[in-house]
């Protein structure tokens, strides 16, 4: 218990927590709000939803939906990489201290 409380006050550990949670909630918030904005927009702008996307025959609503799916994939890849880097930076210092 004492060790754990020591760790909680360790600056490197505190940075790990805050850096990780910034990405965690930032990315979650971004994706979930994109989803709900897109969904609710469909109620109020049905005409625009069905319009063709940039000269193709794809409806704008479906194109945006597809972009949100792609955004989920891209943000996931970025998240995995960033968190691995953060853990490497902060936990290397961590092990020296404990």
Instruction: Provide the Cα torsion 3, 1, 82, 24; round to 10°.
Output: -150
Given candidates 50, 85, 92, 97, which one binds another protein under the rule CB under 8 A?
50
Residue 92 lies near another protein (rule: CB under 8 A): no
Q: How far apart are CA 61 and CA 52, in angstroms?
A: 9
Q: For residue 50, give the nearest of 42, 41, 60, 40 by alpha carbon.
A: 60
Closest contact distance (angstroms) between CB of 96 and another protein is 14
3-state SS string for 79-93: HHHHHHHHHHHHHHH
In the complex, the residues that contact another protein under the rule CB under 8 A are 1, 4-5, 7-8, 13, 16-17, 20, 23-25, 27-28, 31-32, 34-36, 38-40, 42-43, 46-47, 49-50, 56-59, 61-62, 65-66, 68-70, 72-73, 75-77, 79-80, 83-84, 87, 91, 94
């Amino acid at each position: 218990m004492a060790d754990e409380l020591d760790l909680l006050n360790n600056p490197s550990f505190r940075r790990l927590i805050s850096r990780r949670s910034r990405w965690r909630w930032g990315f979650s918030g971004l994706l979930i709000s994109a989803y709900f904005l897109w969904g609710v927009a469909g109620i109020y702008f049905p005409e625009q939803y069905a319009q063709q996307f940039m000269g193709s025959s794809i409806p704008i609503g479906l194109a945006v939906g597809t972009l949100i799916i792609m955004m989920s994939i891209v943000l996931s890849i970025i998240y995995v990489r960033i968190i691995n880097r953060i853990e490497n930076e902060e936990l290397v210092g961590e092990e020296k201290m404990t």
